[in-house]
Amino acid sequence: MKKNNFWYNNIVLYASLQFCGNIEEYFKNHTNNLVVYIVMPRVNNTFNLIRYYKKGKLLYERKVASSRNIFLYYFLWYVYYFFILVTFPVKKERITVISFHPISFFLMSLQKLLRDIEYVYWVGDYFPPVSLSLRLYERLKSFYHRHVRYACYLSDRINEKMNGSIFHTVHRKTVMWGVKPKDFKKVIPKTSFTILFVGLIKESQGLESVLTFLKTNKSYKLKIVGVCPQKLATKYKKMIASYGISKRVYFPNAFVDDDELVALSKDCHVGIALYDRNPTNVTNFADPGKVKSYAEMKLPVIMSNISDIADYVCKFKSGIVINNNDELLDAFKKIKKDYSIYQRGLDKFNTYFYFEEHYKKAFVFLNEK
């Protein structure tokens, strides 16, 4: 890679082992010194990861402790974040911390005594304050949001909630996830039709409807790639067995890395992103990672009519947006019938959100002195 491709100097970045908008790859490609802190979901997990890249080359990777206990989980999260700050390879230069969680801004004054730090709060969620804990959490986010110089938002809806109106300035702007499409073509389905679900598994994501659908539609298969609490996994496995669809459902209840996910997706034909459309559902305000992940893997998406990204799915015809799960059969049939049309729509969607150009334009402020 040419030297002038490294636009940023020293960055600490939060990321995810599975799809997180290709931010690790983007900043790895364009940062002189990059530390990536990969914080895993608390479900079924006992470690996080720290990676250090110098001009795109991975020089260091270490597993660090985590916990399923909620208090210890956040304590260890912060301890190792602090460890990163005090051990960052470049001691005397400014570092930029790009974080999605307010825990990173706790004791900012102390952090700044130790290091010359610029913060970027990339706000990835908004929780309607329907309980005391959520009200307190949103107030905490709002407090830190007011005290950082730069803030980005994964959707215009979050942008509006945090600012009262949609801001698009150097210091406050919407930055949705970018995509990096995989280099393979999908085979037009003829007989069997395989559905893919990716992500953290919750009861509000319509999997029961899909399992019930498979019971009476025998030409369909399903791959569920993600994790959930054991109680919910047991519930779904009992449904799968009782419906007699075990041979048509893949459900290991585990996360996989990106390469394995791509391999699993190659014989799939469509991705699903179904959500409870309750107005208090956080997905109303999110940029669901699974929708962009499906697009990267050349999978048209069938998604609930929720979140800003649904407008783009309709605009580019990269999938079908449904209002309720009773519309699933018609949606599957339409995508199967017009598969080449949806593949062309995916090409347009992926061009619009291509991560290199998308982030280069969005993060131009990181070059400010």
CA distances from 277 to 142, 192, 205, 282, 361 (A): 25, 30, 10, 10, 33
Q: Which two tokens stand for residue 243?
A: 């419906």
Q: What is the mean pLDDT of residues 13-37?
A: 91
On whether residue 312 sits in a domain, the answer given is: yes
On whether residue 187 sits in a domain, the answer given is: no
Q: Quick one: 224 and 234 in the same domain?
A: yes
Nearest of 142, 95, 124 to residue 307 by alpha carbon: 124
Instruction: Please determine, for residue 1, whether its predicted confidence score (pLDDT) is greater than 60.
Output: no
State the CB neighbour count (10 A cutoff) for residue 345. Answer: 20
For 133, residues 6+ apart whose C-beta sits below 8 A from its C-beta are none
Q: Quick one: 134 and 257 in the same domain?
A: no
Query: 323: domain range?
Result: 193-352
What is the structure's pLDDT at 4?
A: 56
Q: Quick one: 169 and 309 in the same domain?
A: no
Give the Cα-Cα-Cα angle 217, 222, 226 (nearest 5 degrees): 150
On whether residue 273 sits in a domain, the answer given is: yes
Q: pLDDT-based confidence at 369, cuts 50/70/90?
A: low
Q: What is the largest CA-CA distance in the chain?
A: 64
Q: Quick one: 96 and 52 in the same domain?
A: yes
On whether residue 188 sits in a domain, the answer given is: no
Q: Quick one: 205 and 346 in the same domain?
A: yes
Q: Quick one: 12 and 42 in the same domain?
A: yes
Encode pLDDT of 312-364 as tens digits. 999 999 999 999 888 999 999 999 999 999 999 999 999 999 999 999 999 99
Kindly report the average pLDDT of the chain as a whole number: 92
Distance of CA 326 to the CA centre of its chain: 27
Q: Quick one: 213 and 348 in the same domain?
A: yes
Is residue 246 a contact partner of residue 240, using CB atoms and an 8 Å limit?
A: yes
Encode pLDDT of 346-355 as tens digits. 999 999 999 9
pTM of the model: 0.89
CATH number at residue 84: 3.40.50.2000
